[in-house]
Amino acid sequence: MATKAVILVLDSFGIGYAPDADKFNDVGANTFASIASAFVKQKGRQLVLPNLTSLGLVDAATAASSGHQAEVPKATKLIGGYGFAQELSSGKDTPSGHWEIAGVPVLYEWGYFQNKTNSFPAEFIAELCQRTGVSGILGNCHASGTDILVKLGDEHVKTGQPICYTSADSVFQVAAHETHFGLQRLLDFCLIARELLDKYNIGRVIARPFLGDAATNYARTGNRRDFSVLPPAPTVLDKLTQAGGQVIAIGKIADIYAHQGITKNIKATGLTALIDTSLAQMATQPDNSLVFTNLVDFDQNYGHRRDPIGYGEALEYFDGRLAEIFAACDADTLLILTADHGCDPTWPGTEHTREYIPVLVYQPGMQGVNLGKRNSFADIGQTLADYFKLEPMQYGESFLAQIRLA
């Protein structure tokens, strides 16, 4: 029997605060419910998500929220498996969430830059400037990636000094103008920063190139690059490729896994392009392969920017495209929709939120099946290991048998 799988990560689409949310000051956060409520209040109507709800999204979210139903009607007929998963990893960041999805939770603490201003160690800045030849850096603080362009973009263009900032995540971000600073120079700068930051146990260095000629129109481009450390153990992606299978990474997936366990890497920018690219790869997807896509817009454009209406409209657009995705699934294709963390756009601040994630599964002809609460995101990776007949992962419990009984 042929085996193909597709994972679509709705980046930041949490469905209710996790049991340990108090450790993160996130008790009460609920990305899905907050978006739904804002839609009713501000647009005077409910979210329209017929395809997601047919997979059991509302049922999963209601269970994850202790019986509180988001202001979205349930589907009358379910055609997929639905559940919700709790994170084992110590953080609520992108690498931790994705690595755990692939069967490898992060059980150690990342290094963080805790200080809101003067965030980076002086010795690190000095060596970074010396190694890269820049006269200094701008920022050196916790900041919103869009706000800091307005604040420091002109000074960056004038001085040639890169804008360096961080957040509550284990991350070092560098914004630079593609024309005035140069894209390749930015990537080279970030590679050196990646090397220097290893001793601080920082998870990611992110290159944030932008264009524009004034503070009013500076805007990020699609040439973002993430430079991640390697996962602490082989992921299910590694095991699939080592067994002769293929992993087709779309969007920022390859960067998140430091290009390990990836056989094909395809960049795409924007929700439409990411979905179009996923569909194109599904159309020619070989046996024993995984198409793996991160839909970053939900997090980057709406969650972090605290835009619940934009988030809801993007969900409705994605839902409309789901019919095409369902149609592209062969009888031997396993489709999984999930998330990597929450980012409630109505929650204080601009950071991720510690939440349960949805686990929605589809195969043609499938009936509704309740997958219940999953104790780790790693259940997804374990299920894929089971599905592709690979050596089991150390973490996670497969739900493949439940699907096949449906």
Kindly state the helix (H) or strand (E) to which residue 59 belongs, with its residue range. Answer: helix 57-64
Domain assignment present for residue 178? The answer is yes
Kindly state the helix (H) or strand (E) to which residue 124 belongs, with its residue range. Answer: helix 122-132
- The candidate with the shortest Cα–Cα distance to 351, out of 15, 25, 10, is 25
Give the chain's domain count: 2
Domain assignment present for residue 324? The answer is yes
Is residue 154 located within the same domain as residue 301?
no
pTM: 0.93
* pLDDT tens for the chain, residues 1 to 406: 569 999 999 999 999 999 999 999 999 999 999 999 999 999 999 999 999 999 999 999 999 999 999 999 999 999 999 999 999 999 999 999 999 999 999 999 999 999 999 999 999 999 999 999 999 999 999 998 889 999 999 999 999 999 999 998 999 999 999 999 999 999 999 999 999 999 999 999 999 999 999 999 999 999 999 999 999 999 999 999 999 999 999 999 999 999 999 999 999 999 999 999 999 999 999 999 999 999 999 999 999 999 999 999 999 999 999 999 999 999 999 999 999 999 999 999 889 999 999 999 999 999 899 999 999 999 999 999 999 999 999 999 999 999 986 5
Domain assignment present for residue 269? The answer is yes
Phi, psi (rounded to 5 degrees) for 241: -70, -35
Is residue 238 located within the same domain as residue 385?
yes
Kindly state the helix (H) or strand (E) to which residue 63 belongs, with its residue range. Answer: helix 57-64
Domain assignment present for residue 116? The answer is no
* Ordered DSSP codes for 311-338: HHHHHHHHHHHHHHHHHH--TTEEEEEE
Domain assignment present for residue 115? The answer is no
Amino acid found at 155:
E
Is residue 257 located within the same domain as residue 217?
no
If you count them, how many residues does the chain have?
406
Position 405 scores a pLDDT of 64
| Last-in-domain residue among 206, 228, 250 | 228
Kindly state the helix (H) or strand (E) to which residue 227 belongs, with its residue range. Answer: strand 225-228
Contact 294, 250 (CB under 8 A): yes
Is residue 316 located within the same domain as residue 189?
no
| Last-in-domain residue among 204, 228, 252 | 228
Is residue 245 located within the same domain as residue 309?
yes
Domain assignment present for residue 117? The answer is no
69: its two tokens: 């139903």
Residue pLDDT, tens place only, 4-36: 999 999 999 999 999 999 999 999 999 999 999
What gap in Å lies between CA 134 and CA 139, rounded to an integer?
A: 14
What gap in Å lies between CA 89 and CA 291, rounded to an integer?
A: 24
Residue pLDDT, tens place only, 262-319: 999 999 999 999 999 999 999 999 999 999 999 999 999 999 999 999 999 999 999 9
Position 404 scores a pLDDT of 80
What gap in Å lies between CA 214 and CA 177, rounded to an integer?
A: 11
Domain assignment present for residue 299? The answer is yes
Is residue 160 located within the same domain as residue 61?
no
Is residue 254 located within the same domain as residue 392?
yes
Contact 37, 366 (CB under 8 A): no
Q: Give the CATH number, domain containing residue 65.
A: 3.40.720.10
Sign of CA dihedral 84, 90, 91, 94: negative
| Beta-sheet pairing, 81-85 with 369-374 | parallel
- Which residues, other chains included, contact 388 with Cβ-Cβ below 8 Å and sequence gap of 6+? 3, 5, 236, 239, 240, 243, 245, 288, 290
Kindly state the helix (H) or strand (E) to which residue 208 belongs, with its residue range. Answer: strand 204-211
Task: State which residues form the domain around 138.
Answer: 122-228
Domain assignment present for residue 113? The answer is no
Is residue 99 located within the same domain as residue 213?
no
Phi, psi (rounded to 5 degrees) for 317: -65, -45
Q: How far is CA 335 from the centre of its chain?
A: 17
- The candidate with the shortest Cα–Cα distance to 220, out of 141, 310, 297, 142, is 297
Contact 186, 174 (CB under 8 A): yes
Contact 137, 380 (CB under 8 A): no
| Last-in-domain residue among 228, 259, 275 | 228
What gap in Å lies between CA 354 and CA 24, rounded to an integer?
A: 7
Position 146 scores a pLDDT of 87
What gap in Å lies between CA 355 and CA 29, rounded to an integer?
A: 7
Is residue 42 located within the same domain as residue 191?
no
Q: Give the CATH number, domain containing residue 180.
A: 3.30.70.1250
Is residue 308 located within the same domain as residue 328?
yes
Is residue 177 located within the same domain as residue 283?
no
Position 92 scores a pLDDT of 95
Is residue 166 located within the same domain as residue 315?
no
What gap in Å lies between CA 406 and CA 397, rounded to an integer?
A: 18
